[in-house]
Amino acid sequence: MTEHAIIFSAFIAYLLLIFYIGWKAWRSTHDFSDYILGGRKLGNWTTAISAGASDMSGWLLLGLPGYAYLAGMEAIWIAIGLFIGTCLNWFWVAPRLRIDSERLNNALTLPEYLEYRFNDNSHALRIISAIFILLFYLFYTSSGLVAGGKLFESVFGLSYTWAVCIGAFTILIYTCLGGFFAVSWTDLIQGLLMALALSYVAILSVYNVQGLDVLFASMTTANPELTNAFTSISAEALGVLGIISLLGWGLGYFGQPHILIRFMAIKSADNIPAARNIALGWTFLTLVTALLIGFAGIILLDGQLQGGDSEKVFIELLNLLLHPLPAGICLAAILAAIMSTADSQLLVASSALTEDIYKLFNKNKVADSSLVTIGRATVIIITLFALVLALQANSNVLDLVAYAWAGFGATFGPVILLSLFWKDMEKSSAITGMITGGLTVIIWKNIDSQHPVFQLYELVPGFLIALFSIVIVQLIFKTRSSLQ
């Protein structure tokens, strides 16, 4: 068999496994609760690994190694911020959200939880939440399609357009078939495959560089700034704002619907400590190995990749170091990473349209079977819109992920955190926080200014302004109530 035939066979075997899981999940999907939340039946391993896999996406195998390849040790700040954010999310948010979402009329979606939490009979919270979910998931899902396009383009020599379309079609099939069960079960397999591939390639890359000490010595020889975490590759000091921007990625965890929905779906809050340990171990392992792959690529690829092509460092190392069969399995891991996030995002966006908009405005009682059908139809519609964005020239995985991550983190993060820990928080404060957070990200991203403060990652000002506005509005209403 030729090299391409071996790699192609590995891809086909992987896809057949995924489609089989989708079919099995389809047989286990009996009502709309099963379709969008798995009936709250997820076990420890499925919850932990699917939360991590849906979180990291193709960004973990393409974007982060690519950033480490270009920037060197500067990239560790993002990894530190993400790990801290993961820890806090599992310790602070997971147990309370699992308990409260079931207690509050068995809320199935994040917008539904917020509506019940704040007794919002006007449905304003649910509608605003659904709008922001649909908006930012278009960008997030398109980032996965861009990553898939780069994968198929590099491996099979397909045109970028065909590569993106094939990836979108693959994700659609099993997301539509099995819903949340398919997404979560495949995420478990895909998350384990991602960890295995990253670990294997990282160890092999470091071995070929002749150890970590030689690796960092070679990076210093190539460019001393590559091993200095406090300067950029251009020898400019990162400064406080630069480090805050990179660490600030961790703030996004509190507001990511596709991660939070896993907390709501676990069997019981009593399962969370065990699931948390698994999730934190997986996250630490994958972040460290992704960084090492980027660092090793600096030496082994000798500066061959420039600009957006830096996101292909993992793919290029596979071609350089591995036999076609293990290379094909590791390349399938990239597809796994892409699919594990895109399917989760499509499902949450679908539930926002179906449960939080269609069902809300349909005065007649809608049968569960009809809701599942509508949910599947909306998955197709959302994918088509994301596909249009992904086909734009010069689309970049890291940029698209960064924008969507910031949007969700600022829109929902402060509201979710305070809703769980501040009993007196009211609806008006939540609405204000969501709108100010989401709009701040959109406006900040589009401000054309070279002033250092506007180079700050938009998630940080968005999160802080939303948090501040919630507290201020709440205090104003509390003062008015006490005066009446």
pLDDT digits (tens, 9 = 90+) for 270-325: 999 999 999 999 999 999 999 999 999 999 998 788 777 788 899 899 889 988 88
Rounded CA-CA distance 319/323 in Å is 8
DSSP state of 230: T
DSSP state of 362: -
Non-local CB neighbours of 402 within 8 Å, separated by 6+ positions: 457
Helix 272-300 vs helix 160-209: crossing angle, to nearest 10: 80
Nearest in space to 434 (alpha carbons), one of 405, 469, 478: 469
Helix (DSSP H) and strand (DSSP E) numbers for the chain: 20, 0
pLDDT, tens digit, 9 for 90 and up, residues 430-443 = 999 999 999 999 99
pTM of structure: 0.88
On whether the CB atoms of residues 447 and 454 are closer than 8 A, the answer is yes
Tell me phi and psi for residue 266, to 5 degrees. -65, 150
Single-letter residue type at 235: A
On whether the CB atoms of residues 194 and 336 are closer than 8 A, the answer is yes
pLDDT at 317: 93
On whether the CB atoms of residues 184 and 343 are closer than 8 A, the answer is no
Rounded CA-CA distance 375/471 in Å is 36
On whether the CB atoms of residues 99 and 113 are closer than 8 A, the answer is no
Rounded CA-CA distance 473/479 in Å is 10
- Per-residue b/e over 86-120, b at no fewer than 16 CB within 10 Å? bbebbebbbbbbbbbbeebeebbbbbbbbbbbbeb
In 234-286, beta strands by DSSP E:
none
Q: Where are the domains of the chain?
A: 3-483
Rounded CA-CA distance 414/213 in Å is 42
Rounded CA-CA distance 270/401 in Å is 32
Burial label, 32 (beta-carbon count in 10 A; 0-12, 13-18, 19+): buried
pLDDT at 286: 96
pLDDT at 22: 64
The CATH superfamily holding the domain 3-483 is: Sodium/glucose cotransporter (1.20.1730.10)
pLDDT at 26: 63
In this structure, how many other beta carbons lie within 10 angstroms of the beta carbon of residue 358? Answer: 17
pLDDT at 265: 85
pLDDT at 128: 93
Token pair, residue 356, equals: 């939080």
Q: Which residues of the chain have pLDDT under 50?
A: none
